[in-house]
Structure 1
Amino acid sequence: MPNSPLVPTVRRRRLGASLRRLRNEAGMTLDAAAGAMSWRGPKLSKIEGATQAIRTADVGALLTVYGVEDDQTRHALEALAREAGKRGWWQTYSAVVSPTYADYISLETDADSICAWSPLVIPGLLQTAAYARETIAGVTTSRTPEEVAALAEVRLARQAVLSRPGTAPELWAIVHEAALHQRFAVRPSIMREQLRRLLDVSGMPNVTVQLMPLASTAHPGVVGGFTLTGFPPPMPSVVLLENLSGATYVEGDDATPFAKAFERIRATALPVEDSLARIAELEEGHRK
């Protein structure tokens, strides 16, 4: 019985797309490149299409065929091949973590920068446990209480990436002030604790928090939130767009408009010091 094709995860898609781009830059057809590797053409096509794995050693050999000598490029793609098939900690939660969500967690794990524009909720990497549980329970239409609790655990476990020694990503989170006025009927203290969490985490050297004021001028972020994950060269950025039906990824050159939009959103938001002062003011208001 033939082996089933691999599921094209985000990591495999990024690797396949990079190898395809380098092959095209080398001016080689699929058949020519496969022939240089003593492969049949379909094998390379499947690797580029992310439905077949490739050994780390073969990545290095293929890059040599393409004339790629840059050490940074070689190391990045070899590392991606090495990590593509590994099981992450989130596999423990496979009963509640969809393949699309698992893809994003792997992206977050690999990223060296994360730019989040969040107009409606606090970004997951900055949430308290109580806020995570309440917001997950509020938006879901089909999850059991046990599944909500498990998803909240996943959200909190993701936050470990921010304190990872030596390789923690830079997080720049811009949150609309309206999100900070959310009320929780059962536990009114949830938002106060969440505001305190924002102030505390903003003290980390790799975390920057800005607020979009209620009285802001028009900016590209009015059409919706997004998260832009960046990676060491030569890997392109990936954008995550979320909605009720799941998530969509925007990759490669298509992510460029989002990077430009984030810069305009950042310029429109309150300066960092003013943002933290406003968060502290709101947090103090909850104490009265």
Structure 2
Amino acid sequence: MKWRGRKQSSNVEDRRGRSSGSGLGIPALAGGGTGGIIILLLVMFLGGNPLDFLSGTTTTDQQSTTQYVETEREAELADFISVVLADTETIWSDIFKENGMQYTEPPLVLFNDYVQSACGGQSSAVGPFYCPGDQKLYIDLSFYDELERNFQAPGDFAMAYVIAHEVGHHVQTLLALNKDLNEARGKVSEEELNELSVRSELQADYLAGVWAHHAESMKLLEAGDLEEALDAASAIGDDTLQKRAQGYAVPETFTHGTSEQRKRWFYRGFESGNLEDGDTFEANEL
């Protein structure tokens, strides 16, 4: 992806160096996104329900601030993320304007080890997530090393896909696209709620593809970028993760979609480039 020397977002909040005395953070709402798979893998392996973690909060303690020393690698990643965020701001502002709406830009919080959000206290183990409560994105830069090393999904556009997916959750919040999921909490069975969660996550993948479509039209993509995003989407499919953790998949427990589904909906958004073709909640087949 062509990003060096380009405009960076002014909506990046750096909280690195702040930590909590105790407590393990867990994503509080569905839409924890790509990074939540680390905790979800452990939960599924132990026979638990991942949604218990997606709906819970944790006790938080006083935060302390220490001097944070940024490595050269982290500085480069922070610059890259800021450029990608700026691109999402430009593209989604244009799309909203074309549809007679105004886009609200979400702040992106950089953190390490632990962060406090409106969705509760959360540790770096959850990876990138979006919190509807404060409409912010949260990213620990160490996740990108995990993405490359543990999930075999290297490349800058794989990282861009992760950001675009979380921004996709923000777009859902602004347009109330995932209201079916929010309204169903506590009213339907666990299996039915899981299906709605899958539809929500696949829609965020579709919206990430819409962003990529417009980034391509802006001549920002380079050879191999699309494949990097598709590889990342495939690497974090529920079936792939469950087979990796326990040797087999349990479809009724899926919360994010299969590798094939995630790739297909991202690519559908990439081909379409509009909001109209991404209604996963009304789709007969995912």
TM-score normalised by length of structure 1:
0.26
Higher relative contact order (CA 8 A, sep 6+): 2
Instruction: Give 1 or 2: higher helix fraction.
Output: 1
